[in-house]
Amino acid sequence: MGRFNAFSGALLSLAILPLANGAPAAVSSASASSSPNPPLRGSEDLLGYSPSNVLTTENTDDVPYQPVEGQNLDAIDGFYLDFESVENPQPIRGSKGGTDPGPQKGNDNYDRINSDKLAPPGTDSGSTINAQWPMGLSHNRLGLNGAGWARQENTEVMPAAKAMAGVDMRLEAGAYRELHWHVASEWSLVLNGSARIAAMNEEGQTFIDDVSKGDVWFFPPGVPHSIQALENGTEFLLVFDDGSFSEDNTFLTSDVFSHQPREVLSKNFGVPIAAFDNIPTEELYIFPGTPAPKDIQEQNVTGSAGSVPKEQSYSYHFSEQPAHEVPGGSVKIVDPLTFPIASNFSAALVTVKPGGMREIHWHPSSDEWSFFIQGKARATLFSAPSSATTFDYRQGDVGYFPRSNSHYVENTGDTDLIFLEVLQADHFSDISLGQWIGSTSKQIIRDSLRLSNETLDQLKTEKQYVVAGSTNLTSFTQP
């Protein structure tokens, strides 16, 4: 047993040592301190002020760093600060903040890719919800025999994201997402590759289709379905209409079969008990399979109920819909007006060119669940009455903006930014701050915001969706 100190309660600090017979013996702190190995606890002489206290002589003001473009400007200007190539990024904006002398962080990359957390704009205030989650921090559920994987975001990691949850799933060529169904609705955007999806509704009507990058599918609660990757594999995003949804609570056919008495299975299917000798004893979830035939009709099984009517199709070939072009990028929308079966899912796929931004807006009828597909971005979430937080996003991140809370999404990279906005609504809609201000009497705006007549003349009465901008900082700072 090691040596350790105990206080006597008066003047002596004692160490307790075990004797051979197990009884402890006390020695003075002087004896303990003479040991080559100091005791675990120090002396009571270290309490409070003493003339012998030793102060550090380390200079904490000498912190070497190189300010990045825009860092010395007024904090309320709030330009994006690119810390990615900075050796020692510092929490400073204009006259606000101060140096960080250490201790050195184990991973400075968090500061480099989240500059708006390290050195927030001067317009940030108070505390909003956490509106950011990187899927890269989600636990990865690995499929069998190299068949794929799945990572999820839900209220376990984003407590305020109560309306929707998401899953990023990969299936290798020929792999299956096992036959299953959910309590929640499932909406999906194919991120790459292609897959064959199949389902059956309550009427016994069947559905099968092949979908590829940019296409969308939807399965209502309780509708059983399957997904199999085609020859090049696939990755897809799943969005569920319940923020607490978990992939671990899916109803899988392997589980359904393995938890029924075999006598019951025999009676149900009208086959001998021995027919079920080889059913899986554990769930398959994601597993390799026989490649799907190229001719989809070979798998198009239809009973007396026939096929799902076209107007109730579970897929929508969103990839073939041209985008609506605007000066700063493009937008295209899929919602129940064109995809009726997804009665409460509305989405916009937004592309923002470098320097541009998704204009300041909010959604009166729904929270917004976002997924960043490509590029880098930042967004400021404003919550009444006066809280504002700026978040940095990149490919694979989830964003969440509560109903009627205003936000923008700015491209902070040098390539196109592509992201998805998903609402729980019967059609996609938003309120544009610019359109509202531009559509209000100039007198009212002048009195309220003290804007000049020259500025008022430049306001627009039409919604912009995405506005163009420059990546050149000097274009903003010059009069």
Bridge partners (DSSP) listed for residue 153: 166
Is 320 known to sit in a ligand binding site? no
Was 182 annotated as part of a binding site? yes
Pairing mode of beta strands 206-212, 140-142: unpaired
Task: Find, among 323, 348, 319, the residue nearest to 335 by Cα.
Answer: 348
Cβ atoms of 374 and 417 within 8 Å: the answer is yes
Could you give the CA distance from residue 341 to residue 218 in angstroms, rounded to a whole number? Answer: 7
Catalytic residue list contains 421: yes
C-alpha to C-alpha distance for 152 and 144, rounded to whole angstroms: 18
317 annotated as a binding-site residue? no
Whether residue 247 is annotated as binding a ligand: the answer is: no
Report the 10 Å Cβ neighbour count for 445. 17
CA gap 140, 19 in Å, rounded: 52
Give the integer Cα–Cα distance in Å for 189 and 373.
11
372: Cβ–Cβ under 8 A, 6 or more apart, which residues? Answer: 393, 394, 395, 396, 397, 398, 399, 417, 418, 419
Residue 186 marked as a ligand binder: yes
CA 58 to mean position of chain CA atoms: 41
**368 annotated as belonging to a binding site for a ligand:** yes
* Nearest Cα to Cα of residue 137 among 156, 118, 154, 151: 151
Tell whether residue 225 is among the known ligand binding residues: yes
Detail the DSSP E strand segments found in 107-202.
132-134, 140-142, 148-153, 165-171, 176-181, 186-200
Tell me which of 178, 283, 410, 421 is the catalytic residue.
421
Q: 259 labelled as ligand-binding?
A: no
Helix (H) or strand (E) holding 230: strand 225-240
Q: Which residues are catalytic?
A: 421
Annotated binding site for Mn(2+): 180, 182, 186, 225, 361, 363, 368, 407
